[in-house]
Amino acid sequence: MIRLWKRVCNIALVLCCLAGMYGAISLYTRLRRCPRYLQGLVNRIILRRDFADQNTQFRWFMSATGRSPIGSYVDLSVYQSGDCVEVCTGYIKLDSPKDAQKEFDLTLKMADRVYERTKRADSGGTVTEERAVAHLSPGKYLILKRNGTQIRMITSQSLAYASEFERRTLAAR
């Protein structure tokens, strides 16, 4: 019985060492990719501050284009900040404004909470642009904009980073 207990303890010790090595390697690779990773952790976890400002840098990480299951054109890109906060931005072009409105509303129905929803209308009273800010269930924030047949979305684990990314992309136009 004692021998069995020693074997179990040795196996547990080896597994703990492997987990520690994996954690160290993972931290090392993340620090190489994101030089401000530890600073971001301190800000978000210890100081409970979530902010992004003009000094926040976003690097392109990956992108994809194609057709969705309903046949609409989709373009997705993922950017990463210096402290490893990912921001995903997407663009969907649908067949009609009615389809875009339907997709916009369906997306917002999936949200846990909608913080803001604004509409912009033309002189005739027809809604030409719509914007919403929402929280999705697995801890993601969503900024959604509809303009005619197009829907643009920005998602991130941080509302501050998503808002800063939106501000920059609007300023670039």
Residue 100 lies in a domain: yes
Give just the sign of the alpha carbon dihedral 44, 58, 74, 144: positive
Across the beta sheet with 140-147, the strand order is 58-67, 73-81, 86-93, 150-156, 140-147, 127-136, 111-121
Say yes or no: 145 and 62 in one domain.
yes
Q: With H, G, I as helix, E, B as strand and everything else as coil, classify residue 95.
A: coil
Domain count of the fold of the chain: 2
**The predicted structure's pLDDT at residue 69:** 79
Residue 128 lies in a domain: yes
Domain at 154, CATH number:
3.40.1000
Predicted confidence (pLDDT) per residue in 95-115, tens digit = 888 988 998 999 899 899 999
Q: What is the DSSP string of 22-84?
A: HHHHHHHHHHHH-TTHHHHHIIIIIS------TT--EEEEEEEEEE-TTS-EEEEEEEEETT-
What totals of helices (H) and strands (E) does the chain contain, helices first?
4, 7
Residues 52 and 66: their CA atoms lie apart, in Å, by 31
Q: In this structure, are 84 and 120 located in the same domain?
A: yes
Same structural domain, 92 and 138 = yes
| Neighbour count for residue 100 (Cβ, 10 Å) | 21
Residue 3 has pLDDT above 80, yes or no: no
- Render pLDDT for 24-41 as a digit per residue (tens, 0 to 9): 555 555 555 666 666 666
Does some domain include residue 116?
yes
DSSP conformational letter for 130: E
pLDDT of 59 reads 83
Across 8-23, average pLDDT? 57
Segments forming the whole domain that contains residue 98: 53-171
Residue 165 has pLDDT above 80, yes or no: yes
In this structure, are 79 and 8 located in the same domain?
no
Q: Are residues 69 and 149 in the same domain?
A: yes
SS3 157: coil
Whether residues 62 and 26 share a domain: the answer is no
Assess whether 64 and 142 both reside in one domain: yes
